[in-house]
Structure 1
Amino acid sequence: MSIPILKYSLSTHNHRVNSFEFLSGEEQPKVYTTENLLSSVEMDEIIWASYRQIFSEHQTLSITREPALESQLRFSQITIRDFIKGLLMSSQFRYLNYDVNNNYRFVEMCVQRVLGRDIYNYRETLAFSILIASKGLESFIDFLLDSEEYIENFGDNIVPYQRRRIIFQRNKGEVPFNLKTPRLNYSFLDKQFMPQISWSGTVRRFRPQEQKPKAGDPALFLSMLDGIAFV
Structure 2
Amino acid sequence: MALPLLKYAPTTQNSRVAALRVGSDEDPKAVSLDKALNREDQNFVIEAAYRQLFFHAFKVDRDRTLESQLRDGQITVRDFIRSLTLSDTFTRSFYNLNSNYRVARHLVEKLLGRPTYGKSEEIAWSAVIMTRGIRGAVDDILNSQEYLDNFGYDTVPYHRNRVVGSRDLGETPFNITTPRYEAYYRGILGFPQIVYTGTARTLPERASQRRGGFPQDYLPWVRTLPALRTRGGTSGNTSIDYLAKVPYRSLGR
**TM-score, L = length of structure 2:** 0.66
Identity %: 37
Number of residue pairs matched by the alignment: 184
Gapped runs of 5+ residues in structure 1? Answer: 168-173, 194-231
The 1:16/1:56 distance shift into structure 2, 3 A limit, reads closer
Q: Are the aligned partners of 2:32 and 2:154 in contact in 1 as well (CA < 8 Å)?
A: yes
Q: Secondary structure at the match of 1:8?
A: coil
Residue 116 of structure 2 is matched in structure 1 by 119
C-alpha displacement at 1:99, in angstroms? 0.7
Tell me which residue corresponds to 1:163. 160
Higher relative contact order (CA 8 A, sep 6+): 1
The residue aligned with 1:5 is: 5
Amino acid at match of 1:43: Q
Q: Measure the CA separation in 2 of the matches of 1:23 and 1:99.
A: 40
1:96 aligns to 2:93 (yes or no): yes
- 2:86, 2:135 within 8 Å by CA — same for their partners in 1? yes
- Partner residue in 2 for 1:86: 83
Give, in whole Å, the separation in 2 of the partners of 1:145 and 1:27.
Answer: 25
Q: CA offset at residue 3 of structure 1? A: 1.5
Structure 2: distance between partners of 1:155 and 1:21: 22
- Give the structure with the larger helix fraction: 1
Query: What TM-score, normalized to structure 1?
Result: 0.71
Structure 2 runs not aligned, ≥5 long: 165-170, 191-253
- Greater Cα radius of gyration, structure 1 or 2: 2
Cα separation, 2, equivalents of 1:18 and 1:150: 15
Residue 196 of structure 1: aligned partner: none
Please, which of 151, 175, 181 is the counterpart of residue 154 of structure 1? 151
- Report the CA distance between 1:177 and its aligned residue: 1.4
Describe how 1:54-203 pairs up with structure 2 within 5 A. Answer: 54-57=53-56, 60-165=57-162, 175-180=172-177, 182-186=179-183
Q: Greater shift after overlay, 181-190 or 155-164?
A: 181-190
What are the Cα deviations for residues 16-57 of structure 1, in whole angstroms up to 9, with x where unaligned? Answer: 996557542322222211214311110010000000001113
Please give the alpha-carbon distance, in whole angstroms, between the structure 2 residues aligned to 1:16 and 1:48: 24
Moved more, 22-31 or 96-105: 22-31
Secondary structure of 2:45's counterpart equals helix
The CA RMSD over aligned residues, in Å, is 2.6
- Hey, what does 2:25 align to over in structure 1? 26
